[in-house]
Amino acid sequence: MSLSRLMLAASLLALSLPAAAQTPEETAAAALEAAPVWDGHNDVPEQLRGRYHDVLADFDFTDTSNAPSNGWSEGGMHTDLPRLRQGHVGAQFWSVYVSAGLEDNAATVEVLEQIDVTKRLIARNSDDMALATSADEVEAAMAQGKIASLMGMEGGYAISDSLGVLRQFYALGARYMTLTHSAQMSWADSATAAPQHDGLTDFGVKVVEEMNRLGMLVDLSHTSEATMNDALDVAKAPVIFSHSGARAVNGHARNVPDAVLARLKDNGGIVMVVALPNYISEELRVYDAAHAAEQARLESLWRGQPDAVAAGMAQWESENPAPKATVSDMADHIDHIRDVAGIDHIGLGGDYDGMATGPVGMEDVAGYPALFVELARRGYSQEDLEKIASRNMMRVLRAAEAYAASVADMPPIETPVD
């Protein structure tokens, strides 16, 4: 056989052999290059308020490792620009959260201040960040290599029972609102407070309908199961859970039950899986309950003797070290949501800077690649990973915008003012 024929035969043989399989690391890297992470919930604005009193003159977003204490979390912050880049975060919903315990209209004022500081943060870092209020603007920012920066309101108490205030928050750029938070509200039940309304009141239904009309995403994290179902009954656009897990994996009330997960198929919505250790590790959740029970037992046993209580707790903790949540725990939630709702209904909402730490291996925003490697090891394809990273969230926001455009002639919902 001639040399040319030998070379041709070798080439044909090479073409007939299967291509070398990608490693999990290669699959994860390719997915994150094609579709950077769109994170549903980050509490940097809350940290700016607690640590810097919303004064940005001395705040350096290129290094937050030595940020001053905020009174409840020692050490630096979880988020800065280099770590966002490390984590392949291409779009971020910044949470303009304030406490649910504020009285009268204080929450309204403080959320306005949080919107202001978030916009100032973006403007001060315009080489790396771009304000985004639409899917097109997110896409454009990503194409420029900037972190698309959206705002989400956490807690409907900030609208002060006013659809007019809701509309003004939307006009200022807020693109989702979490209906409740940890405390009970006048028109919606929270996941972690005694129910008062069995879900949404009539006014709460109007809030959901008006948010749909505007194109503002309805966020059901922090809501009770009855509130979730009431919102899904009336929603005309996909809903989101901006930072929640699967209740079948971890029984915390903040997580989403299977009956609600199953409804996302028809609604088109998304669960953005949280990284908060107590919500993802069932072992840690049970440990925390035992820790609280021991604290209560000692306080009852040694009334008025705080030193004895402290000594008893120190001994108990030395004998019962706390378990650690891991990247694998977070992946378990993604597996379960995929099995019940489907791959098209999963996103990521870390809750960084709204907790003490993320799970081992994902302690801060730089850790997202570790999760994607773990998912690739479990058999998720590059297409699956791209959906989880940001393509599912892009579809959800475009669907909400499309519904709003379809009812553009609908007048605003009006309710009487006291």
DSSP assignment string, 280-315:
H-HHHHHHHHHHHHHHHHHHHHTTT-HHHHHHHHHH
For residue 108, the tally of other CB atoms under 10 A from its CB is 18
Annotated active-site residue in 46, 209, 344, 351: 351
From the list 298, 152, 295, the residue with the least C-alpha distance to 220 is 152
What's the number of CA atoms in the CB half-sphere (13 Å) around residue 196? 13
Annotated active-site residue in 222, 252, 336, 345: 222
Annotated active-site residue in 88, 197, 243, 336: 243
Q: Any catalytic annotation for residue 197?
A: no
Task: Please report, for residues 12, 176, 205, 263, the alpha-carbon distance to residue 404 in angstroms, rounded to integers and kept in the order given.
Answer: 55, 14, 17, 22
CA 375 to chain centre: 18
Annotated active-site residue in 54, 78, 80, 181: 181
First to last CA, the chain: 96
Annotated active-site residue in 154, 225, 344, 384: 154
Q: Any catalytic annotation for residue 154?
A: yes
Cα distance between residue 59 and residue 48, in whole Å? 8
Q: Any catalytic annotation for residue 41?
A: yes
Cα distance between residue 240 and residue 130, in whole Å? 22
Which alpha helices (H) appear in 320-391, and where do they start and end? Answer: 327-340, 368-377, 382-386
Annotated active-site residue in 43, 46, 230, 282: 43
Task: Please report, for residues 31, 103, 274, 349, the alpha-carbon distance to residue 390 in angstroms, rounded to integers and kept in the order given.
Answer: 10, 37, 15, 11
Q: Any catalytic annotation for residue 351?
A: yes
Phi/psi of residue 252, each to 5°? -60, 140
Q: Any catalytic annotation for residue 345?
A: no
Active site residues: 41, 43, 154, 181, 222, 243, 351
